[in-house]
Structure 1
Amino acid sequence: MLGDAGAQVVRLSDVTQTERQRRQLAEREIELNEQNELYRGVIDASFGFVFRIDEQGRFTFASPSVAEFLGYSPAELEGEPVSVLLPNEATVERAWDEIEPIFDGERNLVQDFPLETKAGPTVFTDVRGVPIYRGSVPADERTTDDIVGIQLMVRDATKRREREGLISVINRVLRHNMRNKMGIITGYAGILEGRLSGEDAEKATKIKDTADQLLDLTESAQRLDEYRELSPELEPIDIAPMLEDTVSELRMQFPEASVTVDAPDTVVADTHERLKTALWEVVENAAKHGGDPPDVEVDVTVTEAGVVIAVRDNGPGIPEIEQDVLQSTVETPLVHGEGLGLWLIHWIVTSLNGELETTAGDEGTTVTIRLPKTS
């Protein structure tokens, strides 16, 4: 009898332990569901939909919102290769070029990537990809061997692409027409300048100079359009030769200017070749708007934080309204600059993860470019 009673106690203990485990599992499931809902809410707020793909490039998950955007239900996509959403072979090759670095442990962001809807039309998306690691491996022990797939977070970029395409066309047409018309004005103003004398010749010169300024404006607008979507793509570059070429060109175009340079023989910064455009805009602006004659000083220093390039002139300074535009990076009907040179410098420097600062005083203006240190 005692043996039966002991067995009964053991069996009751087993039941109690099993019930405890069942309750713990149920509580854990509720907690995971709450976390998943929070996660889905964040994803829905930040992205249009989410995919997961395995190492073979097949969909293992698609969020429900994919149906509204691409016309496929999640069930239709799961198990299918990514090529089912890609409009042509070139896009398939591009997709794998972007996917492979993620399987090497990198994160990736691709803009304006085309996807084909179930109905046929192509839409454009911004896609952020991150690796998915095997859950059983602790985060601090993970290697690329533990990557089992990729998560792709997708946002609709079609309307932005259409809007930017329209803006680009308008800009090209306006620049083309402006160059043609200003060329005619400059030509006739030059003829009048040579034939007239006194106050009339001065007026012709004013017309010609104003037309030249507008032509410079169209050229700056073109360069802004070229650089506006550039990603950093930074790498260590010795900018000393770049600076030397820029200063040599300045001395050729502005022989009346006094140009001094104080810089180390080697100056390595994390940057890009397009920095040369920004440097030219800065020194050219200093020579054009400096004193009479212009005095341009270029100082380059290397600090623990990076590289600092300071260009000083002896001119009257940058108009306050121009500085307001640069500080706010927004133009309004009441706040706008007459030129785009400073905008171009700002755009390039910030695209290089750098900083731009302008200071004006009684003795002239200093434009300072700060570039990040080499990694």
Structure 2
Amino acid sequence: MSQHAEQLVGTLFRVLAEEGHEDVQNRLLDAYHTNAPTDRDELTEDLISDIVAVLHRELGARAQVDVLTTSVEYLVERFLAVVEAVPVAVIVVGPEGDVQLWNDGAARTFGWSESEIRGEPYRTLLAPGLDDSSDIPDQLRNGEQLTGAETRHRHADGSILDVRLWAAPLHRRNGEFDGATVVVSDITEQKQREQRLTVLNRVLRHNIRNDLTVARGHLDMLADGSDGDTDHIAVIEDHLTNVVELSDAARHIEQLRDPDDGRTIHDLGPMVREQVDRLRQAYPDARIDCQVPESAPVVAHDLLPYALDNILENAAEHNPSATPRVSVAVSGETDGEPRYRTVEVEDDGPGLPETERAVLTKGTETALTHSDGIGLWLTRWILRSSGGKLTVDTSSLGGTSVAARLQAPPD
């Protein structure tokens, strides 16, 4: 028995008390206690049968009608209150595709009032010739459900909206199609923002790389022809390298736009060992301990290597000690489901500044206190897109401990 039947039973109990029929309610409560040990669905069916029998036996025809009518009105009012309160468009169409219910969210989204649109065909909203949105009524009539489908609808002013919709067909007791319920969310601004960012990102990356290639070429010629101090040239080279890294970071951010499509299985064993080897080559004076199993698969975004590489490099790069100490370990939680594995990087440095710690753990930044680079932001976003968790604490070496917790794939 559906939850709707349970709600009807509960409402009838409430209405019987409010209408002064406590004796009838008590008889139904006795029936409930008698049938309580039975299965939940059977209990609900038995209660409905008892309600019909008791109402017919104990109440006159007029009282029965009053109780049932009041109960139905109560449920309808609650349903309509919920429908009107939700901030998205909720639409109910009849078997012929005519709009039968149009909430305030629909009026705000599409610009038509309920009086203007009620009785009109749902196809009025569709954007003909732009995509496959015209197939939606036929899909629902064929019994299909739509979950988060992206399409386009029309606004009353003639403009076209990008929307995401959820829809399900309604059926009569004999299974015959009886219309559909459609929930629509306007994502026009989101789609436009994504498009602008994509174009801006692509154009900037292309132009920046071209300009940097030319600048570096001329810088190399200056260095080759210089007979004196090249410190200034080295400074310029460092800054050009930073710009290249920013361009790469912008490309990574674009990859994070659709995190679900970017998840795959990574093996932390060989991945972390390879990254530690590169770290030792880049920082030969550092003492780097590594405790990593042969194999430790996890599910994460494709950019996970970038995030871990950033954590490892920060542990050595920002340590002023003559012999920086870094400890890298991969551990696993094998009990229970889901299972997790954690990569922990510890150092003996001066500790992570509070502004950088806030980026990794809280994702906050203000105009007065902001991170020096985009690497920490990317690390946090990658871990979140991987379904993982990032924690920062004081390490056993006296510096900072950064731990990335990731979910292991199912067996």
Question: Counterparts of 1:156 and 1:28 in 2: how far apart (Å)?
Answer: 35
Question: Counterparts of 1:356 and 1:150 in 2: how far apart (Å)?
Answer: 43
Equivalent of residue 358 in structure 1, options 378, 386, 392: 392
Task: Report deviation, 1:347.
Answer: 0.5
| Equivalent runs, 1:1-375 vs 2, <5 Å | 17-43=60-86, 46-47=87-88, 49-51=89-91, 62-65=101-104, 66=106, 69-70=109-110, 73-77=117-121, 85=126, 87-88=128-129, 91-92=132-133, 108-110=147-149, 113-117=151-155, 121-127=159-165, 129=166, 151-196=181-226, 200-231=229-260, 237=265, 239-240=266-267, 243-245=269-271, 247-248=273-274, 251-252=277-278, 255-257=281-283, 260-286=289-315, 288-289=317-318, 296-303=326-333, 304=335, 306-313=340-347, 315-359=349-393, 363-372=398-407, 374=409
CA contact 1:85–1:116 (8 Å) conserved in 2: yes
CA contact 2:288–2:327 (8 Å) conserved in 1: yes
CA contact 2:83–2:103 (8 Å) conserved in 1: no
User: For residue 40 of structure 2, what is the aligned residue in structure 1?
Assistant: none
1:49-81 CA deviation, whole Å, 9 max, x = no partner?
A: 124579x99677552454664458242235x6x
Task: Report deviation, 1:223.
Answer: 0.8
1:140-164 CA deviation, whole Å, 9 max, x = no partner?
A: xxxxx9x998744212111232233
Question: Counterparts of 2:91 and 2:82 in 1: how far apart (Å)?
Answer: 14
Task: Report deviation, 1:23.
Answer: 1.0
CA contact 1:278–1:344 (8 Å) conserved in 2: yes
The amino acid that maps onto 2:102 is S
The amino acid that maps onto 2:311 is V
Question: Counterparts of 2:258 and 2:316 in 1: how far apart (Å)?
Answer: 29
User: For residue 141 of structure 1, what is the aligned residue in structure 2?
Assistant: none
TM-score where L is the length of structure 2: 0.65
3-state DSSP class of the match of 2:367? Answer: coil
3-state DSSP class of the match of 1:265? Answer: coil
CA contact 1:301–1:308 (8 Å) conserved in 2: yes
Structure 2 unaligned residues grouped into runs of 5+: 1-55
Task: Report deviation, 1:212.
Answer: 1.0
3-state DSSP class of the match of 1:50? Answer: strand
1:172-226 CA deviation, whole Å, 9 max, x = no partner?
A: 343344334444444444444455577x422321221122122212211221122
Question: Counterparts of 1:119 and 1:307 in 2: how far apart (Å)?
Answer: 53
The amino acid that maps onto 2:209 is R
The amino acid that maps onto 1:175 is R
CA contact 2:272–2:292 (8 Å) conserved in 1: no
Larger RCO: Structure 1 or Structure 2 (Cα < 8 Å, ≥ 6 residues apart)? 1
CA contact 1:353–1:372 (8 Å) conserved in 2: yes
Question: Counterparts of 2:325 and 2:243 in 1: how far apart (Å)?
Answer: 25
CA RMSD of aligned residues (A): 4.4
CA contact 2:99–2:118 (8 Å) conserved in 1: no
Question: Counterparts of 1:265 and 1:166 in 2: how far apart (Å)?
Answer: 44
3-state DSSP class of the match of 1:21? Answer: helix
CA contact 2:152–2:161 (8 Å) conserved in 1: yes
Question: Counterparts of 2:67 and 2:133 in 1: how far apart (Å)?
Answer: 46
* Structure 1 residues 343 and 206: CA distance shift in structure 2, 3 A: same
3-state DSSP class of the match of 2:72? Answer: helix
Question: Counterparts of 2:120 and 2:304 in 1: how far apart (Å)?
Answer: 48
Structure 1 unaligned residues grouped into runs of 5+: 1-12, 137-144
* Structure 1 residues 214 and 20: CA distance shift in structure 2, 3 A: same
- Size of the alignment, in residue pairs? 338
1:29-57 CA deviation, whole Å, 9 max, x = no partner?
A: 331232123212332xx31x124579x99
The amino acid that maps onto 2:407 is P
